Amino acid sequence: MTALQIIFLFVAAVTLASAVMVVSARRMMHAALWLVLSLAGVAVIFALLDAGFFTVVQVLVYIGAIAILIIFAIMLTRKAMEDVGPQLNRGWWLAALAAVGVFAGLAVVLVSWPGVNASAGAGPDANLIVTFGKDLVDPHKFVMPFEVASVMLLAALIGAIYVSVEHKGGQK
Amino acid sequence: MIPLPWLLVFAAALFCIGLFGVLARKNLVAILMGVELMLNAVNVNLIAFWRYFSAAGEDSTRAWTFVAVVLVAAAAEAAVGLALIISVYRRRKTVVADELNLMKG
Q: Which candidate in A45, A92, A113, A125 is best for mutational testing of the B interface (most B CBs within 10 A)?
A: A45
Whether residue A100 is contained in a domain is answered as no
Quote the pLDDT of residue A172: 45
- Subunit contact B96:A80, Cβ cutoff 8 A: yes
Whether residue A156 is contained in a domain is answered as yes
- Subunit contact B44:A61, Cβ cutoff 8 A: no
Chain B residues touching residue A91 (CB < 8 angstroms): 23-24
- Subunit contact A95:B97, Cβ cutoff 8 A: no
d(CA A45, CA B4): 13
- A144, exposed or middle or buried, with CB in 10 Å at 0-12, 13-18, 19+? exposed
Mean pLDDT of B67-91: 89
On whether both A64 and A131 belong to a single domain, the answer is: no
Q: Which residue in A has a C-alpha nearest to residue B96's C-alpha?
A: A81
ipTM of the complex: 0.89
On whether both A9 and A61 belong to a single domain, the answer is: yes
A-B interface: how many C-beta pairs under 8 angstroms? 265
Q: What is the span of the domain harbouring residue A20?
A: 1-83
Q: Which residue in B has a C-alpha nearest to residue A40's C-alpha?
A: B40
Q: Which candidate in B33, B35, B77, B102 is best for mutational testing of the A interface (most A CBs within 10 A)?
A: B33
On whether both A67 and A131 belong to a single domain, the answer is: no
Secondary structure (DSSP) of B65-85: HHHHHHHHHHHHHHHHHHHHH
Quote the pLDDT of residue B19: 93
- A116, exposed or middle or buried, with CB in 10 Å at 0-12, 13-18, 19+? middle
Secondary structure (DSSP) of A122-160: SPPPTTHHHHHHHHHT-TTTTHHHHHHHHHHHHHHHHHH
Q: Which residue in A has a C-alpha nearest to residue B13's C-alpha?
A: A103
- Subunit contact A31:B30, Cβ cutoff 8 A: yes
Q: How many domains does chain A have?
A: 2
Quote the pLDDT of residue B64: 87
**Sequence ranges of the domains in chain B:** 28-93
pLDDT in tens, chain A (172 residues): 788 889 999 999 999 999 999 888 888 888 899 999 999 999 999 999 888 889 999 999 889 889 898 998 888 887 655 666 667 777 788 888 999 999 999 888 888 888 777 777 777 777 888 888 888 888 888 889 899 999 999 999 999 888 888 776 555 4
Q: Which residue in B has a C-alpha nearest to residue A133's C-alpha?
A: B61
Q: Which CATH number goes with the domain that contains A22?
A: 1.20.120.1200
pLDDT tens string B24-53: 888 888 899 999 999 999 999 999 888 888
Rg of the Cα trace of chain B? 18
Quote the pLDDT of residue A45: 93
Closest CA–CA distance from residue B104 to any residue of chain A (Å) = 18
Q: Which of A21, A56, A83 is the last residue of a domain?
A: A83
